[in-house]
Amino acid sequence: LSEKDSLVALIYDNNKVDICDFMGKTRFTFETTLNKLMNERLLRFFPDGNYLLAAVKDNSILVFNENGDVVSELNVHSANVNSVDISADGQFLATASSDNKVNIWKYNNSLKQMSLINTLTGHNDTVWSCEFNKTGKYIITASADSTVKIWNLYGRQINPEFQFLENRVRYNNRE
92 near 84, Cβ under 8 Å?
no
Please give the helix or strand (H or E) that residue 93 lies within, else none: strand 92-97
pTM of the model: 0.87
Q: For 139-167, write each residue's pLDDT tens digit.
A: 999 999 988 999 999 889 887 666 666 55
How does DSSP classify residue 161?
P
- On whether the CB atoms of residues 151 and 106 are closer than 8 A, the answer is no
Nearby residues of 71 by Cβ (< 8 Å), 6 or more positions away: 50, 51, 63, 64, 65, 113
Per-residue pLDDT of 7-55, as tens digits, reads 999 989 899 999 999 899 999 999 998 877 667 788 999 998 778 999 9
Helix (H) and strand (E) counts for the chain?
0, 16
Predicted confidence band of residue 172 (pLDDT cuts 50, 70, 90): low
